[in-house]
Amino acid sequence: MASEIELVAMRRAIDVARERGNCLPNPTVGCVVLDADGREVGIGATVRKGAHAEIEALAAAGERAKGGTAVVTLEPCRHIGNTGPCTEALIAAGVTRVVIAETDPHSEAGGGAEVLRAAGIEVETGVLADEAEPHNRAWRFAVVHGRPFVTWKYAATMDGLSAAPDGSSKWITGPDARRDVQTFRAQCDAIVAGTGAVLADDPRLTVRDAEDLPLPYDLQPLRVVVGETRIPNYYRVFDRVAPTLLIQSREPEEVLDKLTENGIKHAWLEGGPRLAGGFWKAGLIDRVIGYIAPSMLGSGRAALEGEAATLADLRPIEITDLSTVGHDIRIIGTPGAAPRETYI
């Protein structure tokens, strides 16, 4: 059973992993190394396309790790990736105990706990796993299901419309909601939009920071434009702020296959009710984030091109968060299966 000192260290590891931010396509991982007397001597978090948390923490601890404990939010890997196996590094450092929050479902990287036990290291798993789990939910889904986790974001008026009859849609929601979107975008490694939305709005499909400046190129999600309509090369989606991938298909399964080939773990779907409708009908939307503006249009384009022919076809959404962002309402939910029974 984990000691109070180890529980404190695990929460510290969870916090440092969260602060480090998006590491996709790698998982978000934090590690704290305690010396033989239970004092913190090293801390680290996985770097995007760089060193793993354990390697960083062990480097900080140095010789003080010998006889100590490594507290890590995800089971140490046993394969060669951006670094050598973290299991080998822990064994070489001389730690005698490893405390783990979540096990690794990856067929190649997982199984590190057994490697450590075979080397004579005491291992405990499942420590504060429920607190660590949210930070790697999309990554874990992608590993288990073999396709990216898909978040669909939309903005609409209170009567459910995302564009006026003339096609204009900027800006339905306010500046606070738009800044909030950047926070969620930054958690993904691909931003996906249809050609119709790109032609209509000329979006950048990038992540911007609190000062509305673009993040560095190597931290930007992959921009993905889906559809067969040609986009002129002077559109902003082709600027040098972020990489761009064109997929000439509107079949959701084909789009996700292509994203999987490119190593994408979390796709952010926005822009285009037809594309979103295709993903919704195929049951390939895993989370919905809706921003509802306190206004009405009366006529225009709906946020989603229809699937339901009757109320019996309604697809339920389990609401997991409901809050106000500035003057707008933000709703986050998990789609259920369709159809469902209706109750009058």
CATH number assigned to the domain comprising residue 161: 3.40.430.10
Q: Tokens representing 99?
A: 């405390």
Closest CA to 201 of 229, 234, 167: 167
Instruction: Give 308's contacts (C-beta < 8 A, 6+ positions apart).
Output: 314, 315
Residue type, 317: I
- In 10 A of CB 108, how many CB atoms? 11
The per-residue pLDDT string of the chain (344 residues; one tens digit each, 9 = 90 and over) reads 889 999 999 999 999 999 888 888 889 999 999 999 999 999 999 887 778 999 999 999 999 999 999 999 999 988 766 667 899 999 999 999 999 999 998 766 568 999 999 999 999 999 999 999 988 999 999 999 999 999 999 999 888 887 766 665 667 888 999 899 999 998 999 999 999 889 888 889 999 876 667 778 888 999 999 998 899 999 999 999 999 999 998 799 999 999 999 999 999 998 778 888 889 988 999 999 999 999 887 776 777 876 665 566 677 899 999 999 999 999 999 998 765 444 43
Instruction: Determine the structural domain holding residue 51 and report its residue range.
Output: 4-136
In this structure, the answer to whether residues 163 and 123 fall within a common structural domain is: no
What residues are labeled active site?
Answer: 54
Rounded CA-CA distance 260/252 in Å is: 12
In this structure, the answer to whether residues 24 and 172 fall within a common structural domain is: no
Closest CA to 221 of 270, 178, 257, 166: 270
Q: Tokens representing 180?
A: 């909030």
Looking up residue 109, the CATH number of its domain turns out to be: 3.40.140.10
Q: What's the helix, strand, coil split of the chain in %, to 5?
A: 30, 25, 45
Contact of 334 with 321, CB cutoff 8 Å = no
In this structure, the answer to whether residues 237 and 126 fall within a common structural domain is: no
Closest CA to 224 of 252, 194, 201, 202: 194
Which pTM was predicted?
Answer: 0.87
Strand partners, 98: 70, 123
In this structure, the answer to whether residues 170 and 189 fall within a common structural domain is: yes
Number of domains in the chain: 2
In this structure, the answer to whether residues 90 and 161 fall within a common structural domain is: no
In this structure, the answer to whether residues 319 and 203 fall within a common structural domain is: yes
Integer angstrom CA distances of residue 275 from 193, 218, 280: 8, 27, 9
Peptide bond just before 232 cis, omega within 30 deg:
no
Contact of 263 with 245, CB cutoff 8 Å = no
| Chosen domain end from 74, 107, 136 | 136
Asked if residue 306 belongs to a domain, the reply is yes
In this structure, the answer to whether residues 240 and 292 fall within a common structural domain is: yes
In this structure, the answer to whether residues 100 and 180 fall within a common structural domain is: no
In this structure, the answer to whether residues 52 and 11 fall within a common structural domain is: yes
